[in-house]
Structure 1
């Protein structure tokens, strides 16, 4: 076993660290969080230094990296802001992977090269009102063929990133099979300014400058060229990205947890009580030692899952484990951080409250940790399906 990064990967990690310190220091992120506004040029700057293409093929303007490179970037960004990392992930970990695996050559050349240059950004419109994890049972958005076009009608919720995205992946039902509801779904890639699309922002507790929206599709006419993959085969297209999505979220959680840990350690070294730094008290040391150990084990799981996927091996079990463990570990880290900072942690002046708010959604999104446990028990333990 070799746990070392390659020289290229170490250089990439250093690049991300320098970018984060220069272009998104924590005080700037706090301002974006307060103002609910992501700077328009931040992703452009990522593209300028090569981060947007870090895991894209050289053919389409990337540098030929893989899932490990993607993980390195996500973890590094999330140290200061999981919200920025999520914005990056929507583009690179969902949009790019979907197009790379299922897009036509024309789609790849246009969208992937545009993404590498920082010119194109994506959002995913999948979740239905009242649906949540039950995607197949709740899917009411439909698309019908009309000559050379398709016409889409329906509504989605929690479509995230429309404030920066130009293009939306929309999943709609194009046919029905009563015996197998996974058949008949189709993925469309649509310009968000297409007539018939309306959206309203949802106010959120965390990730406040990467906005989520309710979106209504009313007689939205799109050409057949907007289909990604095959008609009626949208479910396998979605499933093909799930492992990468779970690794993506695990990496974000590892970075978020690390950022919270660094703040907690710094405060414990500087804050004094009863004549000594509070970090000298065993009660705090033991809590922080537990959190450090959990985060390191989460990181190892995450990179193992990323390595397996880069090797073309089945990583589904480890991806689910990584998402589950990393999100719970980061969740506990932010709680511990709030306890250590105490009253100051409850103020908006310190960054811990932002970590504390932002991690909450990653416990249940993009898949709930309960569903992850169901999958782990079923696939890893050979137990009967529980749902």
Structure 2
């Protein structure tokens, strides 16, 4: 087994690290977080150096990488800002992966070069107000055929990134089969400014400059060419995208946890008490050692899942395991970091409180860790379905 990156992957990681240090230092990220404003040119700058096309084939303007390359970029971005990493992931996961694997030839020709160039951005509008994880049972948004068009009516919640998106992936029910709820779902790619779409921002604890919204669809008319994949078989495209989504969120958690650990270790080396750095005390060393171990374990599982998806293997189990463990490891790491920094961890001028706030949502989004463990028990252990 070879656990090392290729030469090109090492170069990509170095490129992202230099970009992060230059374009999104932690003091700048803190200002974006305080102002609640996503930097309008940041994704454009990523596109200029090829990051937006890291997992897009060369024939469509990308650099020909895959999910492993996507994971490298996400982890390095998240070491300074999980919010920026999530914004990147919306484009490369929901956008590039969905269109490359399930889009029509015309959709690939239109959108993949634009994604690589940073010209279009995406948000996934799937979660229903009364649904959460129960996507199939709660789906009430409908799309009804009308001539050469479909008319969409319904409401979504927790549609993240509408403030920077130009297109929305909208999941709606085009028919209902009581015997199999996964049938009859269709994915539409809809311009955000289409008449009938309205949205309201949700105030959040974390990720404060990548906003989440309630979105309403009132007689939104779209052409049949807006369908991604096959009519009524959208669940198959969704599942494929969700596997990639879990890998990308796991990568974000690994990066976030590593960033919090970096800050905690730096503080432990600089802060003196009782005549010595606090990092010399076992009470500080041991929790930091726990975090280092857990983040490394999460990293290994995340890259295994990303490698499996690149190989065309079924990665649903390792992707779920990676998301579950990485988010919990990062959660514990930010908590330990707050304890190491003590009062300074509680001060807004330090970044630890931002890591502490931002990780909270990734425990229950995009899938709750409880549901993730249900899936792991069912698929990994062969136990009866519990939901």
TM-score tier by shorter-chain length is over 0.9
Counterparts of 1:271 and 1:117 in 2: how far apart (Å)?
Answer: 45
1:315 is aligned to 315
Identify the residue that residue 55 of structure 2 maps to in structure 1.
55
Distance 1:297 1:34 in 2: 32
Residue 330 (1) aligns with residue 330 (2): yes
Match of 1:220 in 2: 220
SS of 1:65's equivalent in the other structure is: coil
Structure 2 residue aligned with 1:120:
120
User: CA separation in 1, counterparts of 2:341 and 2:56?
Assistant: 41
1:315 Cα deviation from its structure 2 partner: 1.5
SS of the aligned residue for 1:232 comes to coil
2: distance between equivalents of 1:314 and 1:173?
Answer: 26
Partner Cα distance (1:264, 1:115) in 2: 36
Q: State the 1:101 CA deviation.
A: 0.8
Tell me what 1:148 maps to: 148
* Residue equivalent to 2:365: 365
Gaps of 5+ in 2: none
Q: Structure 2 length normalisation: TM-score?
A: 0.99
Partner of 2:25: 25
Give the aligned partner of residue 383 of structure 2. 383
Q: Which residue matches 2:210?
A: 210
1:253-332, aligned counterparts within 5 Å? 253-332=253-332
Deviation per residue, 1:215-274 (Å, 9 max, x gap): 000001111111111111111110111211111011000000000000000000001111
Displacement of 1:65 after TM fit? 0.2
Cα distance in 2 between the residues matched to 1:375 and 1:143: 29
> Distance between the aligned counterparts of 1:161 and 1:112, measured in 2?
19
Q: CA deviation at 1:275?
A: 1.1
Partner of 2:201: 201
The list of structure 1 runs, each at least 4 consecutive aligned residues, that deviate by more than 2 angstroms after superposition, is: none
SS of the residue aligned with 1:360?
helix
**Alpha-carbon deviation of 1:30?**
0.2
The aligned residue for residue 169 of structure 1 is 169
Q: After superposition, what is the alpha-carbon deviation per residue over 1:78-112, rounded to whole angstroms, capped at 9, x for unaligned?
A: 00000000000000012111101111111011111
Query: What secondary structure, in the 3-state scheme, does the structure 2 residue paired with 1:359 have?
Result: helix
**Whole-angstrom CA distance in 2 between matches of 1:84 and 1:128:** 25
Asked if 1:251 corresponds to 2:251, the answer is yes
TM-score normalised by length of structure 1:
0.99
For residues 360 and 299 of structure 1, what CA distance do their matches in structure 2 show? 19
Where do 1:222-237 residues align within 5 Å? Answer: 222-237=222-237
Deviates more, 1:5-14 or 1:234-243: 234-243
List per-residue Cα deviations over 1:165-216 (Å, max 9, x = no partner): 0000000111111111111111000001000000010000000100000000
CA separation in 2, counterparts of 1:258 and 1:69? 18
Please, what is the CA RMSD of the aligned residues?
Answer: 0.6
**Counterparts of 1:140 and 1:243 in 2: how far apart (Å)?**
23
Secondary structure at the counterpart of residue 291 of structure 1:
helix
Cα displacement (A) at 1:46 = 0.1
More displaced stretch, 375-384 vs 77-86: 375-384
1:81 maps to 2:95 = no
Q: CA separation in 2, counterparts of 1:57 and 1:322?
A: 26
Q: Whole-Å Cα distance in 1 between the matches of residues 197 and 2 of structure 2?
A: 50
User: Which structure 1 residue ranges, 5 or more long, are not aligned?
Assistant: none
Distance 2:172 2:234 in 1: 8
Number of aligned residue pairs: give it: 387
Aligned equivalents of 2:278 and 2:201: distance in 1?
42
Q: Which residue of 2 aligns with 1:186?
A: 186
Greater alpha carbon shift after TM alignment, 232-241 vs 46-55:
232-241
Q: Deviations over 1:113-146 (max 9, x none)?
A: 1010000000000000021001111111001111
